[in-house]
Structure 1
Amino acid sequence: MQFFKVKTVEETFALIDEMIPATQQTEVRELSEALHYILAEPVTAKENVPGFDRSTVDGYAVRAKDTYGSSESMPGFLNVAGEVKMGEVPDVKVGLGQAVYVPTGGMLPAGSDSVIMIEHCEDVDGLLNTYKQIAPGENVIRAGEDIREGEILLEKGMKLRAQELGALASLGITHVTVFRKIKAGYLSSGDEIVPYQTETLAVGQIRDINGLTIAGLASDWNVEVVYGGIVRDDYEEFSQNARELYEQVDCLIMSGGSSVGAKDYTTEVIQSLGEPGVFVHGISIKPGKPTILAVAGGKPVIGLPGHPASAMIIFKLFGERILKKLSGEHLVPKPGHIFAKITKNIPSSPGRSDYIRVRLEEKDGEWWAEPIIGKSGLITTLVKSDGIVEISSEKEGVSQGEYVPVILSR
């Protein structure tokens, strides 16, 4: 295999979708413990939501045509025939020229087709003055209008956010079948890397922050992370530690040792873990060109650059997609973007995708992206940024005021 023949960003995404397997292992979880898990099977609604026609406002249930012509200057008049109590089936019907008081969420009484808001009418000793005409169906939710019995509510591969849990709860569903949580192992390499808890650094030493930042991002995606520590630039030690961690997890992540230096053993170590091995060795991207992606024995392996800024950008772009694919989540074609106007000209080299860290600011109702100037290895550029601007490989840069896609990082 010939290594370091770089792939484009688009080719890399396509290879991830092709090469990364999705987990098939499932479990049943109680709804209150299923947040951020991925559905392993579709959910079909067993009943209508709501189960009855109900009012969306405090007001009076009426026949809409009885309010036609009503206005502030010439109100209509209806007889109040009773009221609806919450949680009870109405024992009164709405007839010609009648109105029934109904609270928000109350069941619509028979004979009515709409609700006039209490702000637009006045009950004067049982005679309702209506100051506005309303249309049939106004201020009413029909039975099954939200969720209809028999329809597929949630598809397989959907991530369960708070709103999905709420929808399931509304149907009385208490347990769901989900894919089990993925476990990823993280390993740092390099003679110069020391634990971040190191109080005083010797000359040339660097604290390991990737172990925290990469693990933090993975945790945001509901992935459990096992920290494998730091290994020296020694092939035997590197290989042994990588193998031990690989055996414990579903995905192995390493940072450092992914370039073409004489002491960079990452590629050799990954190849030793299993077939088919490396499928990306280098991406036409700045920052982060020396990136390795592989599948070894059915498990994804990610080799990140050592620079913290480059490692985070690469992991956000490609690591997230790999872990989500592995988790069984349904994937969109590319990461989501918002669009913002760039505040200054940014040159770029054709044939290479550039990713520029930016700070977002709202001006006159529009988002503007302010590039954060700094060398790619600077950690403070990550702290200051709200996202990264993508300059695709076919462009020679962007001009001030041009709309650009921004991948959010907050």
Structure 2
Amino acid sequence: MEFFDCISLAKAQTLINNVLPECTTAVEETELIEALGRIVAEDIAAADHLPPFNRSTVDGYAVLSRDTFSAGEGAPVMLDIIGEVFMGQSADYTIVSGQAVIVPTGGMLPAGADGVVMLEHAEQSDQETLLVAKPIAPGENMVAKGEDIKPGTVFVAAGTRLTAAEIGALAACGIARVKVRRRLTVGIISTGDEVVDVIAVPENGQVRDINSYTLAAMLTAADCQVTRYGITKDNYADLLAAIGKAAGENQLVLVSGGSSVGARDHTVQVIEELGRNKVIFHGLAVRPGKPTIFGLIDHVPVFGLPGHPVAAMTICQMVVMPLVSRLQGSGSCKAGWRIPARLTRNCASAPGRDDFLRVKLIWQAGEYRAEPVLGKSGLISVMTQADGVVHVPADSSGLYAGDVVLVEVMREA
């Protein structure tokens, strides 16, 4: 295979999907309180009705709705109050036409009631008499038994990444433990004679390690278990040992730097040796991120990412993260959160190459505006100023000011 032969992003994604399974992470059970952000391993169905009884959504009076149909401010309907329901207690009443029961918000409705009159729409003339001044419809101001979730209903599907909302639904259904996918283990290696640790004071020609921290942060946010293997110099033997160790201990490996075609860029040769000619591609027709490598070492996917921070983050977001979702069992290529925005300036692009344009989102005149953050792929300010990425497809010659584009949000604007 001739390396650094740029292929399209679409072809690269097809090659990745063809050589890797849908999911490689095993299943484990975790406590509900520890399940936030984890990926559900199987469909979860409700065992009981939710809510388990007819309940009021307001403070008021449980009634038969038809008794209120003729009610009005000038001619209120008179009903007999036969009792009161207290929070957390059973409603030991059965009401018939002409009767009402006092109920609190969340309280159980007595048998026979099919609606609740709000406090402000009624008045007690004495302890036993209620004057209703406004009609209600059947089912108004109440939630029926099982209206939220019925027994047997799958309310959390396999592959769902659990948020606070799902955690609450699981708690409501009495589910204290959840089967989830184990965290994907990822090893990250930084390379380069010029790269030094963040606590070092760089000398002339040196730069601090950025990529292992940004990549680790992105993958940790995606619920991966990340191990940083430090900085490896541009030495074949050292890189061979580092990548071999990382591939033996993880389910995915990212190597930052060493992906170009210079005399000291050894990543391709290392993957070839360890993976027995398993470099799948070297070179993507994208900007930024052209010198990207993908290969396999004993079925462990290994990416060689560009050394420039913006390029490394872009390829991680657009190429690596969909694979991470696939391996975690949450889909083969799920897009991030995307919102429409109007581009503020013309942006040229070379046909035949996918461009990823970083933009800043600005809320203006009732819509989002996408303002391109221009700068080279090694500039840190490009990362910190941008809120998201716009994908300019390979068949486009560019975008124009005023075009509505989809912005894949990297962080909250």
Question: How many residues are treated as equivalent by the alignment?
Answer: 409
Alignment of 1:114-263 (within 5 A): 114-125=115-126, 126-199=128-201, 201-263=202-264
Task: Report the equivalent of 1:17.
Answer: 17
Deviation at 1:13, TM superposition (A): 3.0
Residue type of the alignment partner of 1:280: F
Give the AA of the match of 1:7: I
What secondary structure sits across from 1:128 in the alignment? strand
3-state SS of paired residue (1:160): coil
Q: 1:92 to 1:249 in 2, by over 3 A?
A: same
How far off is 1:359 after superposition?
Answer: 1.3
Q: Report the alpha carbon displacement of residue 79 of structure 1 after superposing the two structures with TM.
A: 2.3
Paired residues for 1:224-373 under 5 Å? 224-274=225-275, 277-331=278-332, 333-373=334-374
Please report how far the alpha carbon of residue 147 of structure 1 lies from its aligned counterpart in structure 2 after TM superposition. Answer: 1.4
Question: Gaps (5+ residues) in structure 1?
Answer: none
2:177 aligned partner, one-letter code = H
Scaled by the length of structure 1, what TM-score is found? Answer: 0.95
Q: Which deviates more, 124-133 or 217-226?
A: 124-133
For the Cα contact (< 8 Å) 1:20–1:295, is it kept in 2? no
What displacement does 1:76 show? 2.7
Letter in 1 for 2:17: D
**1:95-141 deviation line (CA, Å, top 9, x unaligned):** 11222111111111111111122222222213322232221111221
Deviation at 1:7, TM superposition (A): 2.9
CA gap 1:244/1:379 in 2 versus in 1, 3 angstroms: same
Residue 67 of structure 2 is matched in structure 1 by: 66
Closer/same/farther in 2, CA of residues 5 and 106 from structure 1, 3 Å limit: same
Conservation of the 8 A alpha-carbon contact between 2:322 and 2:333: no
- Distance in 2 (alpha carbons) for counterparts of 1:360 and 1:211: 27
Q: Distance in 2 between matches of 1:249 and 1:355?
A: 29
Q: Which runs of 5+ in 2 are unaligned?
A: none
Change (3 A) 1:54 1:290: same
Offset at 1:237? 1.4
Matches within 5 A, 1:374-393: 374-393=375-394
Deviates more, 1:185-194 or 1:350-359: 350-359
CA contact (8 A) 2:25 2:327 kept: no
The equivalent residue for 2:101 is 100
TM-score by length of structure 2 reads 0.94
Contact residue 50 and residue 146 of structure 1 kept, 8 A:
yes
In structure 2, the partner of 1:2 is 2
Q: 8 Å contact 2:25–2:183 — kept in the other structure?
A: no
Q: Distance in 2 between matches of 1:142 and 1:97?
A: 22
In the alignment, is the contact (CA less than 8 A) between 2:342 and 2:368 conserved in 1?
Answer: yes
Sequence identity of aligned pairs in percent?
42
Q: Hey, what's the Cα distance between the residues in 2 that align with 1:388 and 1:314?
A: 11
CA distance in 2, matches of 1:238, 1:221: 27
Measure the CA separation in 2 of the matches of 1:74 and 1:360: 56
